[in-house]
Amino acid sequence: MENLLSILRGNPLVSFTILLLVILTLPPIFERLRLPGLVGLLFAGVILGKDGLYLLDADSESIDLLAEIGKIYLMFVAGLEIDLAEFRKTKDRSLVFGILTFFFPLVTGTYVGLTFGFSWNSSILIGSLLASHTLLGFPIVQRLGMVKNQAVMVTIGATIFTDIAALLVLAISVSIHRGNFSSASLIIQLVSLALYSVVVLFGFDWLGKEYFRRSGDEESNQFLFVLLAVFLASIGAQLINVDKIVGAFLAGLAVNDVVGNGPVKEKVEFVGGTLFIPFFFVGMGLLLDIPAFIQTIQFELPLVIGIVGGLILAKLLAATAAKLFYRYTWAELLTMWSLSLPQVAATLAAALAAYQIQNSAGERLINEAVFNSVIVLMLITSILGPVLTAQFATKLPLPKTTENGDYENLGSTLDEWLPELKFPRENNSFTVVIPIYNPHTQRDLIEMGALLAKKESGLIVPVSIATAGVHMDDPQLDGNLKQSQMLLERAIEISQEFSVDADAMIRIDDDIAYGISRAAREKNANLIIMGWSENTGLKARLFGTILDTVFWSSHCPVAVMRLLDNPTNLYRILVPVKNLSKATLETIKFAKLFADANQGSITLLHICDRQTPTQQVTEFKTTLSHLITEYELSENCKIKMIIHDAPAQVIIRASHKFDLVILRSFRRRTAGGLAVSDITTEVLKKIRCSLVLFGQPHS
């Protein structure tokens, strides 16, 4: 039996299969237990390692390679995920908070290290491990609509400083530990690191933009370019005696602007999040020596408490200092603290790198006790941070714009936005493009487009995409053209029933989605109307759907319809409103256009949880009332405010009294389909009335 297990451990294919099985099954199980999925991956590494079933060998070349790639990919995605646009808005305050939230943990960790007998070099490194943070709580503040809160934006921006500074300390500590450190070597190291950073940040950014511009829509080659950039940067970092994770992080920052929020970024993150990054966490579990881990907790408990408690206290002190400097509220202080608590990406990658570094005498930069303490730190903070963020972020005030902390005047902002809330027109003609590819939904889509176009004295453009390859004499293309012609003739007949002009169009293209977007741009369309198609297969998860691509690439708003009744019978319209922004107002604008065209009524539904301050609820309702009055919605629009902790359930129940629900989507697309919130996803699955998923450019 032992011989068989030894053979299986030495077979890379078997190891890879086991890893895939673990990644597929363990994270969802742990998430159901309200634990982070990465804890499940660490647990799997422990169970499958030498202290468990011993099905995987941490010393095998295949496991080591996959874990190394995962570590590099993790730091690359950490850099890629930083929103540089938001960072630029609050860069000064982000820098100050970054210094605070780096300095306090650095000093605390150094003190803890010296107290327990570590050298100055190891102690400072321990402090740097505590200084960075991973934004595990970001999805929570995003869901609550609090990303624009200045305190949240400052915390997000500070991530750039803390991660870079922590990795810089790691690079210097490694150099000292290996014995090749001197004043001259430090100067050389810093100069080479500065030159290397300039080459990566600016050189890769320029090369990326040039390559993306020249390669057009060749997403596969662009994806390969991004991968090449991250591994080239990692190799370059090693050439100047800096850990490869520093290069990976800088590469993420460098290509951040290049990939934007486009499909290439989604594919990069999908591949990393699905394969390589989970490999890293399983590899971490394989390296974990359970007897030593238990002994660390049992006999080195003061060290564990010192590291974990020191981090929690230091991050709280940094947030408190930011509150005093910028007059933030207590809720903002606690939210900044909770967002900066989790220690996952940079901390784990740097800890592993430091643990594996040995000098000529065989001594490690940090010992096993510190490494195990960092694992405990990760487990505690990755759970505690998001839980506290969910608790405190709900109490955040509305975004602030003035130095003295006054609340932003949303009414004045609306006055600035309202003049822009008109569908942009070219040559004074309102144009609705309607892709036709399903005869069963064709009539409803044409009727919907005709209603809107007639109201605006415009025209509809039924478009049929005839797919073709290189050869225009392909018999299959002839068949596609005949089918397209039949669909368009029927579309023109329907449009004539509504006395609306129709400019039917056949387009030959090798890609249906891009063919639709290009046709809409050529016709200077103001709106694209499409039918809903639900596709959750593997191909859709990897490459997205037609709807997904059109949402991402279009120049004008896109309305995806799932109509269960004739459009002329849809009078009562429900529009859930989470917060007020230009994107939200664009959705309301579309609802108003349809309501006016069909003599319908609109209900704006706002759902807030039970912890939302009364002042915030009142101010939001006042702003909505102002919107209704100024936007001439008062005759056929109502406001409904509901306090509930399950927004999706409220929307689903409320939809029973309405004919049509209009939900908002985003331009950004994901590897799994349209970019919608968890609430929208649940509503889409369970709603039983007609619906429109509405999205607009630059949202």
pLDDT of residue 73: 82
**Among the three residues 346, 369, 395, which one is the final residue of a domain in this structure?**
395
pLDDT of residue 397: 62
In this structure, the answer to whether residues 444 and 386 fall within a common structural domain is no
| Total domains in the fold of the chain | 2
pLDDT of residue 313: 92
pLDDT of residue 91: 77
pTM for this entry: 0.56
In this structure, the answer to whether residues 387 and 448 fall within a common structural domain is no
In this structure, the answer to whether residues 351 and 436 fall within a common structural domain is no
**Lowest mean pLDDT segment, chosen from 193-197, 280-284, 395-399, 473-477:** 395-399
In this structure, the answer to whether residues 390 and 480 fall within a common structural domain is no
In this structure, the answer to whether residues 452 and 328 fall within a common structural domain is no
- CB neighbourhood size of 445 (10 A): 25
443 within a domain of the structure (yes/no):
yes
Span 39-65, average pLDDT:
80
The conformation of residue 460, written as its DSSP 8-state character, comes to E
In this structure, the answer to whether residues 328 and 460 fall within a common structural domain is no
39 within a domain of the structure (yes/no):
no
Q: How confident is the model at residue 528 (pLDDT cuts 50, 70, 90)?
A: very high
The conformation of residue 429, written as its DSSP 8-state character, comes to B
559: three-class secondary structure by DSSP: strand
Residue 450, amino acid: A
632 within a domain of the structure (yes/no):
yes
60 within a domain of the structure (yes/no):
no
In this structure, the answer to whether residues 527 and 385 fall within a common structural domain is no
What's the rounded Cα separation, in Å, for the pair 167 and 346?
8
Span 41-61, average pLDDT:
80
Instruction: Give yes or no for residue 321 having a pLDDT over 80.
Output: yes
Q: How confident is the model at residue 78 (pLDDT cuts 50, 70, 90)?
A: low
For residue 449, give both structure tokens: 């487009």
pLDDT of residue 573: 92
pLDDT of residue 317: 92
Residue 384: give its domain's CATH number. Answer: 1.20.1530.20
In this structure, the answer to whether residues 388 and 524 fall within a common structural domain is no
Dihedral over Cα of 198, 204, 205, 206: its sign = positive
| 239: CB partners within 8 A, 6+ apart | none
**Among the three residues 395, 419, 452, which one is the final residue of a domain in this structure?**
395
Residue 58, amino acid: A
Radius of gyration of the chain, Cα coordinates, nearest whole angstrom = 28
Instruction: Give yes or no for residue 364 having a pLDDT over 60.
Output: yes
pLDDT in tens, 378-434: 778 877 777 788 778 777 765 443 333 333 444 444 555 455 554 444 455 789 999
463 within a domain of the structure (yes/no):
yes
419 within a domain of the structure (yes/no):
no
What's the rounded Cα separation, in Å, for the pair 47 and 50?
8
422 within a domain of the structure (yes/no):
no
Average pLDDT value for the chain:
78
Phi, then psi, of 599 in degrees rounded to 5:
50, 45
pLDDT of residue 673: 38
pLDDT in tens, 669-694: 433 333 445 567 778 778 888 989 88
What's the rounded Cα separation, in Å, for the pair 96 and 92?
6
Q: How confident is the model at residue 180 (pLDDT cuts 50, 70, 90)?
A: low
| 521: CB partners within 8 A, 6+ apart | 555
For residues 590 and 560, is the Cβ–Cβ distance under 8 A?
no
Span 440-444, average pLDDT:
82
In this structure, the answer to whether residues 243 and 381 fall within a common structural domain is yes
> What residues make up the domain containing 246?
72-268+290-395
In this structure, the answer to whether residues 114 and 168 fall within a common structural domain is yes
pLDDT in tens, 504-517: 888 888 788 888 98
- Burial, 104: exposed, middle or buried (Cβ in 10 Å; 0-12, 13-18, 19+)? buried
Residue 413, amino acid: T
CA distances 260 to 73, 252, 608, Å, are 18, 11, 31
For residue 276, give both structure tokens: 């390589």
The conformation of residue 534, written as its DSSP 8-state character, comes to -
401: three-class secondary structure by DSSP: coil
248 within a domain of the structure (yes/no):
yes
**Among the three residues 341, 372, 395, which one is the final residue of a domain in this structure?**
395
Span 63-90, average pLDDT:
75
For residues 296 and 368, is the Cβ–Cβ distance under 8 A?
yes
In this structure, the answer to whether residues 489 and 615 fall within a common structural domain is yes
Span 519-539, average pLDDT:
76
pLDDT in tens, 138-174: 656 755 667 667 788 788 778 777 877 887 787 777 7
pLDDT of residue 695: 81
Map 149-179 to HEC letters.
CHHHHHHHHHHHHHHHHHHHHHHHHHHHHCC
What's the rounded Cα separation, in Å, for the pair 396 and 376?
30
What's the rounded Cα separation, in Å, for the pair 371 and 414?
53
In this structure, the answer to whether residues 389 and 485 fall within a common structural domain is no
What's the rounded Cα separation, in Å, for the pair 535 and 551?
15
Instruction: Give yes or no for residue 296 having a pLDDT over 80.
Output: no
Residue 646: give its domain's CATH number. Answer: 3.40.50.12370
Span 69-92, average pLDDT:
74
